[in-house]
Structure 1
Amino acid sequence: MPKHGAAVLTIDLDAVAANWLALRARHPSGPVAAVMKADAYGLGAARVAPRLLAEGCRHVFVAHLSEALVLRPIVPEGVLLAVLNGVTEGSEQAFLDHGVVPVLNDPGQVARWSAAAVRAGRRLPALLHVDTGMNRLGLAAAEVRRLAEDPAPLAALDLLYVMTHFVSSEVADDPLNATQAARLAEARAMLPPAPASLANSSGVFLGALGASDLARPGAALYGINPRPGTPNPLTCTVSLDAPVLQVRDTAAGDTVGYNATWRANRPSRIATVAAGYADGYLRSLSGRGIAYSRGRPVPMAGRVSMDLLTFDVTDLPDIAPGMSLRLIGPECPPDSVAERAGTNGYEVLTSLGARYARVYAPVRPLG
């Protein structure tokens, strides 16, 4: 049984590095960044970052300034460390003090960072985000036109990239992909010259349509399939193994778990394992989850509870306390778990809990 009875989450840094290298090979038009927001999608940014930096990654993106400050001691000054959510009021000095670069998402952020540059007496680096259809962050078309007519706020800035974000790049034939690429080109033509950043994880697989000066994959680095409905071209990076705490015999007609949602239709053996929704094993997997024992599927019996899961191991008589059942891994990758849970692999990974015993695979250079 794992130490202290905790489920073991194994993160394969070799697989993360291999995925980054595979994405880089698919994007010959420019470098490939690593998006490490949400603690590298739940895998641990402090461990993922050094590995990817060792492989040659020179662009790191996070969502919040707080995430960048955690990584700053790990990411050297020569590597771009950028914050996707931009520079909020009052945060300018922290960006300056730590050499963090904001993505500017609206005229207010442009003005705020420009003013900080004037105060600092030097041009400050930034990325400019143009909205081309997502309608979340980014300058709207009218705001880009106004900035083109009065580019003074940009004079104090060193524009590293003009970027946008695909809406549905995982759907290769969605015409919106080409529309967005064209809108980005139109915006760049109105703005001071700067390289472009376009492709996210799925965008890397759009070929020439997703080509730009910098790709920004996130989930694909961690093994999420960037091409749903087709075989995953990338490698699963995590395995989650939960210890069996108890195995009990139940009679036909007995129920298991809260609200008696599962009833045995034969004499059955039920294994209870140490994981639950408090650990990020989603409650929507109740009655739908599947674990594996040495490659053999084991169906869930009943609901996901906070700390415990129950599985019907009747057909696997060798299962006993002290063994483990696999909840996530190559046999049941995050995308497969997500499909059963009615969500996506992103949520499965970013929900991984803090109670797991985390193990990182040996680090060896691949490049």
Structure 2
Amino acid sequence: MTGSGVRIDGNTVRLPGGVAVRFVRTLRLPETGTHPLPPGLGEFPVRRVADYADRVPEEWRARGGVMLPVYLREAMWLSFAGTTEPAALQVGAGKVCAVSGKRWSDRLARRPQNYVVLPRQPWLDGINSGKGTVRQFVAVPLGLGATVEGQVTGEEVWGGIQLQSFPLREDVLAQWRREQERLEQERERTLGAAGGFGGFGVTGGYGAAPPPMVGGAPGAAGPMMAPAPGGAVPPASGGAAPRRAAAMGLGVGGSMRQEVYQDDRPLTDWSEEPAGRVFVHLVTPPEWRRITGEAPPPSPVDRAAYTRAGLPWYDYYDEHAEDLDPTDTLESVKPVGDWLGTDLDPWQPPSPGQITPLKDPQGKTVEDGEW
């Protein structure tokens, strides 16, 4: 990623302008029905392609970027927590925009909108496929036609995930920073007058590691940890020639309740040129082991066992944001089950008490009157 301005901080990819992106493992949803937000089950490990230049395919070296291991039909979502300043972020699935369904572009567009607005958009679980819903990101091999790229463009060339960030124009950003300073000073005065808080904090929530399952659910994914020094898998020999790795891309799975928010800024507030971009290669677990010498993460957790254990699902609603209408292109994308066969994993819907509301409670607005 030389000269791109993109860096890795642990498993977080940081793009210029304060953008932070983490790739989060999660439960794969059934491909029928509409579901609440599934939980985060730990981060995918992320490594730089340049650090393994002698073991990756030539086209990977040419594209640069980062790589992460993912199982066939494993689901993921993108977390933007830790983004420090406003940014417009383009998200591509095989160089097809996950928001608009249009082919990849180096320019922001509004009709249709081809980016998410950070930090207002806290995460993205899939493509913008319906009013108030998205279809879950699911890993699938290239060559079947099951990827978003294959269904939209008719060919599968790129695979992977693409990210590109646009900051605010310098004058607009300076104005935003001044406003943040003013709000922070007001907050400090308010807290000082009230005597402050006693260190009370909120833990858990969407994306937080779930508590351990009682008795250990079958197939449960453990913490995402680096291998212990004594148990690391030996790397491939330095003289081994790079071979063609199994190419993976993003298809879609089940539908969930999630809004992709409409930008309420003028398009001219954003920089015309991207500040940074990165190509994210998706690697099968055997290839991950061969390339990095690290053991891949454990296989995904069993979703029925997760629900039986009473662990939380989530529902997010922002009453001040407006949902972006889906495009016909993304509405017509079919789930990977149409290519890979019926989803045979058992499904146990969460009870209402297991669905945790986040941010604003959803419901009809109560109007005030004269009194």
| TM-score, reference length from structure 1 | 0.20
For the pair shown, which has the larger CA radius of gyration, 1 or 2? Answer: 1
- Judging by fraction of residues, say which structure has more helix: 1
> When the two structures are superposed, what TM-score results if normalisation uses the length of structure 2?
0.20
